[in-house]
């Protein structure tokens, strides 16, 4: 395989978790990577913890003012040098063979866009007993129907997709990326549990139902430039398929 992976890690007030996140990258069986950590003006020790590692593959960038997760991802994407782009938030974790298995899956099948299943944990890293995945294949309209991939599991090939920048959104900025990437390459599931998502109370994704609906509407109406009826249709579809995902793709261990 032998191609560089650029790992995109936005961080904000993650001092409690970021060392574990970094360690899960350092312990990868696939070692040709760079981890680009963009600290979004944290007021805790996030940046100093990230900088303490004596590993040239870990690149730390600091914003001088709070700009949001989308801007932090954009900063990291602009700095990325790898063929492969992977995403790992500063409180999530990878299993040790995540990169190796996912790159092999993509190379062997000539895929440019993929994701994996992941395990949910509580804020202390204890498994909740739930495994989350999605459809084996996601085309353009399937991605519009719902944001199936977990951000911490996604990888794409820049040779086929190119540089992708996200919109300055709240909880849907990763979804905005997938909608751009899927126009150039369909998404495929590696049906293996290769990551752990930490549920952190108070995070943006933990906000209420009405807030999430408004974020999805803004994504489709303003970022995607869809008409009012179409934006409403896609927003409603996301609500429907979100329920379907819980029924079909969230399983007890």
Q: Tell me which DSSP letter residue 64 carries.
A: S
Q: What three-state secondary structure class fits 73?
A: helix
Strand 58-62 versus strand 33-39 pairing type: parallel
Mean pLDDT of 69-93: 94
Q: Which CATH superfamily is domain 5-200 in?
A: Spore Coat Polysaccharide Biosynthesis Protein SpsA; Chain A (3.90.550.10)
Separation between Cα atoms, residue 102 and residue 184, nearest integer Å: 19
Domain boundaries, the chain: 5-200
CB proximity list for 200: less than 8 A, separation 6 or greater: 17, 91, 123, 206
Band (pLDDT 50/70/90 cuts) for residue 111 is very high
Name beta bridge partners: 34.
6
Location of structure tokens 């300055």: 168
User: Is 51:42 a contact under the CB 8 Å cutoff?
Assistant: no
pLDDT in tens, 159-216: 999 988 877 766 678 999 999 999 999 999 999 999 999 988 755 555 666 777 888 8
User: Is 110:138 a contact under the CB 8 Å cutoff?
Assistant: no
Mean pLDDT of 126-148: 96
CA nearest 1: which of 115, 155, 104, 80?
104
Which letter, b or e, does each residue of 243-252 get, where b requires 16 or more Cβ atoms within 10 Å of its Cβ? eebeeeeeee
pTM for the structure as a whole: 0.93
On the question of pLDDT at 110 being above 70, the answer is yes
């Amino acid at each position: 395989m032998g191609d560089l992976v650029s790992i995109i890690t936005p961080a904000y007030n993650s001092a409690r978790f970021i060392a574990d996140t970094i360690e899960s990258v350092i312990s990868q069986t696939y070692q040709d990577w760079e981890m680009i950590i963009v600290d979004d003006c944290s007021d805790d020790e996030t940046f100093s913890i990230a900088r303490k590692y004596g590993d040239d593959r870990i690149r730390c960038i600091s914003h001088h003012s709070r700009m949001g997760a989308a801007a932090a991802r954009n900063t990291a994407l602009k700095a990325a040098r790898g063929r492969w782009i992977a995403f790992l938030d500063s409180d999530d974790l990878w299993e040790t063979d995540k990169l190796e298995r996912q790159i092999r899956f993509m190379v062997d099948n000539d895929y440019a866009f993929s994701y994996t299943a992941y395990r949910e944990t509580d804020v202390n890293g204890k498994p909740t007993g739930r495994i989350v995945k999605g459809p084996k294949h996601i085309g353009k309209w399937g991605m519009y129907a719902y944001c199936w991939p977990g951000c911490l599991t996604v990888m794409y090939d820049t040779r086929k997709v190119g540089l992708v920048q996200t919109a300055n959104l709240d909880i849907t900025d990763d979804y905005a990326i997938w909608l751009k990437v899927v126009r150039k390459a369909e998404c495929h599931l590696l049906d293996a549990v290769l990551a752990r998502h930490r549920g952190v109370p108070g995070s943006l994704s933990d906000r209420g139902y009405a807030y999430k609906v408004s974020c999805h509407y803004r994504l489709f109406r303003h970022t995607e430039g869809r008409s009012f009826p179409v934006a409403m249709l896609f927003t409603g579809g996301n609500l429907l398929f979100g329920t379907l995902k819980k029924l079909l793709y969230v399983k007890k261990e």
